Structure 1
Amino acid sequence: MIDENATANWFSKPGDSIRVIMQQRNISAHDLAESFEDGLDAVRGLIDGSRQIDGPTASTLSAMLGATAKFWLKRQENFDIAVDRAVSQVQESGQEELLLRLPAPGPKARGKLSLERRAAELRRRLVFFNVPDAQSWAGRYGRLVGETDYRTSKTYASKEDATLLWLRRGELEADMVQTRVWSAENLLDRLREIRKLSMIRHPQLFLPKLKTLCAEAGVALVVVKAPDGCRASGAIRMVDPDKAMLLLSFRYKRDDQFWFTVFHEIGHLVLHKANTFVDGDALPGDADRESEANEFAAECVIPPLRESEFQRIKPERDDIVRFSVSIGVAPGLTVGQMQHRGMVEPNKLNYLKRTWDWSQINPATV
């Protein structure tokens, strides 16, 4: 029997229906975006609930996804009513202050808020995190640190709010990525092809291929630039029972750091799925798990069978390039490992690494 009191404030975004139909009909976010003047921004807004379905939007959805325009308008109306009900129940429960302290995208509200603005800010947070109350938020995000592995610089302190916003935006981006059912075995089967992508110079060329390989193994690979205060370079999380997210920030914008982060996160996915995403007991700072993921990543760069040869490399350009080509990775990755292991100084041979800026990265993220 369903407990009506427990589900009274539950709501479902129209974007949930949109995602299901897109998956069923094999319609990609890019396919749907072509029908909107503002492209992927429109699809993002519909998926995350921030964009209202009006008459023209309802007609577009009807043409692209099926059902009538009236259905989509009613779907929006029911959603609005449900969210308004959730806001009222939160206010009556005394949870309002707790939820208003949560981070939200966009500019922060300043000064004393009117009752109307408080309700709007509360609504914004419930919709953004897709939760109807504080208990639901705590169940889904309250132990986020314990459920999520993310690489972060030890030199800087991460602000929890900024990291949470980055992770949530990653989840929303992952919602738009169609994948097969998550399989660690399938991901490992594609690891050799993933390694080869490090040889490709430009993000616009290797990122689409990387996304495809990951999606074939049930992993939604997404790139979200970290907001101010968030020092994370990568994260993984199970966003659905059969779908994993691999989130990247391109924090260092350098090939050795980028690819090591990719391999590190894949290591967590294939080595620690049960501990990290089912139990949620382990912390991201757990030394054993981090050490295992680092070792996995290092072996992705330098295969164990080539380790002795690697140790004998001379710190010279031609030797490094020759060895890197023979193992199938970019020279910058080999240099990164040499620096990490103290074989060369950190300021030496960096010209062999590829660096990018956001003008090169952004076109590859859409």
Structure 2
Amino acid sequence: MKRQENFDEAVTRAVERIRKNEDDDLVLSIPAPGSKPRGKMTDEKKAAEIRRRLVYFNVPTVGTWESRYGRLIGNTDFRTSNTYSSTDEDTLLWLRRGELESDMINTRPWNPGNLEDRLEAIRKLSRVRHPQSFLPKLRTLCAEAGVALVIVRPPTGCKASGAARMVDPDKAMILLSFRYRSDDQFWFTVFHEIGHLVLHKANTFLDGDETPFNDKEQEANEFAESCIIPGLRASEFERLTPDKDSVIRFSVSIGIAPGLTVGQMQHRDMIPKSKLNYLKRRWKWEEIDPALP
């Protein structure tokens, strides 16, 4: 109770400091969960809305929020634009929800080498059909390397497939949206985010259809591709004939689900996007939800 009292007092001081030194409209442009305030914005209501944003994002100042979140979406300069699109807001709220959920996951200290050591075990999980069977094992493997694996159903406007971020000095987070709910997209995103953590250290990455393509995104893509199709089998993969039996035999021989092979064949323009899709596994949220903590 004393800690709660101290926290409440600290938040009150932060709100008063912000109201004295900052532009209220700037602060209220920070997205917040729940419905937007209606009616006249009295001083009391403004203070409550500012408090809600500080508590949700766990920041004492606008500057702290800006440094942690303000430039994650594209190249937006929060203090100049003073606003975000609804899509950006949903993505930021999705990211913060992931951070809050990661706080409840116990992990060992972050160790990129330990994560790389578990890549083969993670690959094998792609062969498991049901999320209720493979997600708990995937979370455990990640936690052993210091990574909190979090899955949050995306808000309507959120276009992100995954994110990677250091949430504490000794704890990383991989946040997944299950946006496409197919095995090739899901596992590629898993390996892509692992690539960001292993290759790019403590930087924050949000990945989706509108993510600017740069060298680091290319490196993470190549990392994911090599996790799915091992380099020693690349030439054999490139000669693969686009028929069901050949794809299944090859997939079994390298230890992955056929859907991942099909996804890579489509991605590399070996076959049309419409071909062999029946080999992919697709899930409904009714199958995913029971697998979430």
Quick check: TM above 0.5? yes
Pick from 245, 248, 252: which aligns with 2:180? Answer: 252
Letter in 2 for 1:361: I
Aligned partner letter, 1:89: R
1:344 to 245, 250, 271: 271
The aligned residue for residue 120 of structure 2 is: 192
Post-superposition CA distance 1:18-71 (Å, at most 9, x none): xxxxxxxxxxxxxxxxxxxxxxxxxxxxxxxxxxxxxxxxxxxxxxxxxxxxxx
1:362 maps to amino acid: D
Q: CA deviation at 1:158?
A: 8.1
Give 2:258's aligned residue: 331
Deviates more, 1:223-232 or 1:328-337: 223-232
Distance in 2, matches of 1:94 and 1:301, equals 49
What is the alpha-carbon distance in structure 1 between the residues aligned to residue 286 and residue 57 of structure 2? 30
SS of alignment partner, residue 225 of structure 1: coil
Distance 2:116 2:73 in 1: 26
Question: Which residue in 2 is equivalent to 1:78?
Answer: 6
Gaps of 5+ in 2: 76-84, 205-210
| Offset, 1:256 | 0.2
The one-letter amino acid of 1:240's match is: D
Distance in 2, matches of 1:234 and 1:180, equals 22
Q: 1:104 aligns with which of 14, 28, 32?
A: 32
Inter-CA distance 158–133: structure 2 relative to 1 (3 Å threshold):
closer
Aligned to 1:214: 142
Task: Quote the residue 1:204 is aligned against.
Answer: 132
Misfit runs of 4+, over 6 Å: none
Q: Distance in 2 between matches of 1:356 and 1:173?
A: 23
Letter in 2 for 1:365: L
**How many angstroms does 1:112 deviate by?**
2.1
- Given the alignment, which residue of 230, 241, 254 partners 1:314? 241
**Which secondary structure state, in structure 1, belongs to the residue aligned with residue 150 of structure 2?**
strand
Cα displacement (A) at 1:287:
1.6
Alignment partner of 1:302 is 2:221: no
Is 1:262 the counterpart of 2:198? The answer is no
Report the CA distance between 1:342 and its aligned residue.
Answer: 1.6
Query: How many residue pairs were aligned?
Result: 278
Distance, in Å, in 2 between the alignment partners of 1:158 and 1:96 is 20
CA distance in 1, matches of 2:95, 2:152: 9
Compare CA radii of gyration and give the structure with the larger one: 1
Is 1:292 aligned with 2:219? yes
* Residues 158 and 231, structure 1, Cα contact 8 Å, conserved in 2: no
* Kept in 2: contact 1:226–1:249 (CA 8 A): yes
Return the letter of the residue paired with 2:253: S
Q: 1:228 aligns with which of 153, 156, 159?
A: 156
Q: Give the secondary structure class of the aligned counterpart of 2:165.
A: strand
8 Å Cα contact 1:158-1:232 kept in structure 2 = no
- Give, in angstroms, the shift of residue 200 of structure 1: 0.3
CA distance in 1, matches of 2:94, 2:154: 6
Supply the distance in 1 between the matched residues of 2:86 and 2:286 (Cα, whole angstroms): 25
- 1:68 aligned partner: none
8 Å contact kept, 2:106–2:143? yes
Amino acid in structure 1 at the alignment position of 2:257 = A
Which secondary structure does the structure 2 equivalent of 1:179 belong to? Answer: coil
Q: Structure 1: which amino acid aligns with 2:278?
A: Y
AA in 2 matched with 1:353: K
- How many Å separate the matches in 1 of 2:165 and 2:117? 20
The superposition leaves residues 291-341 of structure 1 with CA deviations (integer Å, 9 ceiling, x where unpaired) of: 111111111111111112112222111111111011010000000011111
**Tell me, what secondary structure is at the counterpart of 1:323?**
helix
Aligned equivalent of 1:182: 110
CA distance in 1, matches of 2:268, 2:199: 23
